[in-house]
């Protein structure tokens, strides 16, 4: 192959002159992290709420949560993202839509991607939370209620603390997925990590260096999350269980 490698390309200044190409990549990394962590907060809170709704005695609430899960699991992420970004501003009442379209494009892209990833992942978190709640011994709910706790209190103080610890491993893989899925935001123009790699190819033609650097950054994120979650798992293990102290 007649490809000429040039790793120094990362240190050369960009055409606008105020940053290096490495600076671009780090900026992309920053957007990827902000988007993924923000979306995870939405996914975790909404997903836990939906997971609880799936298990409450009220049949309508549990059907509502089930419908949410089916809707968000059976439409591709890309289609959901385009719906948040292109479709919803059109369907809102005109003044709202116009207000959205007048904000800065980067803000629009970021919030569309944030809501999209958050709601998409919430459906997956919901299923994990439901499985975790389902695997608890039945007596726990009964014991909580028998002690005079209300149903919300039983969930808050008895069921969720146990269930969330049980599902930490599958939640870790959902957390990893959110970083990977955030790359889809490049399709609406958000300049996150994978978009920056394409920019670098356009500007410098050093495709291999750009892609290798970005791929390594994703692998590093992966490794960091796995170590973090292992620590968390260690911290929160339940005393008295096989995995516990």
Partner 1 sequence: MYEFDWSSILGALPILGHGMLVTLEITLTAIVVGIVWGTLLALARLSAIRPLAWLAAGYVNLFRAVPLVMVILWFYLIVPALLSDVLGVAQGSDIRMVSALVAFALFESAYYAEIIRAGVQSVPKGQVNAAYALGMPYSLTMRLVVLPQAFRNMLPLLLTQAIILFQDTSLVYVIGLADFFGAAYKVGDRDGRLVELVLFAGAVYFVLCFGASLLVRQLQKRFAT
- Positions that interact with partner 1 (CB under 8 A): 1, 3, 70-71, 73-80, 82-83, 86-87, 90-91, 93-94, 176, 179-184, 186-187, 194, 197-198, 201, 207-208, 211, 214-215, 218-219, 222
Closest to partner 1 by CB, 75 or 142: 75
**Least CB distance from residue 134 to partner 1, whole Å?**
16
Report the C-alpha gap between 134 and 140 in whole angstroms: 11
88/149 with CB nearer partner 1: 88
Sign of CA pseudo-dihedral 7, 10, 15, 17 = negative
Nearer to partner 1, 73 or 230 (CB): 73
CB 212 within 8 A of CB 219: no
Closest to partner 1 by CB, 154 vs 206, is 206
Ramachandran angles phi, psi of 238, nearest 5°: -90, 120
Least distance in angstroms from the C-beta of 161 to partner 1: 29
CB of 211 to partner 1, least distance (A): 6
Q: Shortest distance, CB of residue 124 to partner 1, whole angstroms?
A: 11
- Contacts of residue 9, Cβ cutoff 8 Å, sequence gap at least 6: 21, 200, 204, 206, 209
Nearer to partner 1, 42 or 183 (CB): 183
Q: Judged by CB, which is closer to partner 1: 160, or 214?
A: 214
CB atoms within 10 A of CB 144: 19
Between residues 1 and 242, which has the closer beta carbon with respect to partner 1? 1
Q: Which of 39, 174, 184, 188 is nearest to 117 (CA)?
A: 39
Cα–Cα distances (Å) from 162 to 12, 98, 159, 185, 238, in that order, read 52, 46, 6, 34, 8
Q: How far is the CB of 144 from partner 1 (least distance, A)?
A: 31
Q: Is 92 helix (H, G, I), strand (E, B) or coil?
A: coil
**For residues 230 and 222, what is the distance between their CA atoms, to the nearest angstrom?**
12
Least distance to partner 1, CB of residue 20, Å: 22
52, burial (CB in 10 Å: exposed 0-12, middle 13-18, buried 19+): buried
Minimum distance from CB of 199 to partner 1 (Å)? 12
What element of type H or E holds 195? helix 193-204
């Amino acid at each position: 192959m007649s490809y000429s490698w040039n790793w120094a390309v990362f240190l050369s200044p960009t055409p606008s002159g105020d940053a290096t190409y490495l600076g671009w990549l780090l900026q992309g990394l920053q957007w990827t992290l902000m988007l993924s962590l923000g979306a995870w907060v939405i996914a975790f809170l909404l997903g836990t709420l939906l997971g609880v709704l799936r298990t409450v005695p009220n049949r309508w609430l549990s059907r509502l949560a089930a419908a949410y899960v089916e809707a968000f699991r059976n439409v591709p992420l890309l289609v959901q993202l385009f719906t948040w970004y292109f479709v919803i501003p059109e369907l809102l009442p005109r003044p709202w839509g116009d207000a959205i379209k007048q904000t800065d494009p980067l803000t629009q892209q970021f919030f569309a991607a944030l809501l999209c990833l958050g709601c998409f992942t919430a459906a997956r978190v919901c299923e994990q939370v439901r499985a975790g709640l389902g695997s608890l011994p039945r007596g726990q709910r009964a014991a909580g209620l028998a002690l005079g706790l209300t149903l919300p209190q039983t969930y808050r103080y008895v069921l969720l603390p146990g269930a969330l610890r049980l599902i930490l491993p599958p939640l870790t893989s959902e957390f990893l997925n959110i970083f990977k899925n955030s790359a889809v935001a490049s399709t609406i123009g958000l300049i996150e990590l994978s978009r920056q790699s394409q920019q670098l190819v356009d500007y410098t033609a050093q495709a291999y260096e750009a892609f290798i650097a970005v791929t390594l950054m994703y692998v590093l994120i992966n490794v960091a999350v796995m170590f973090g979650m292992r620590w968390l798992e260690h911290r929160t293990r339940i005393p008295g269980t096989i995995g516990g102290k």
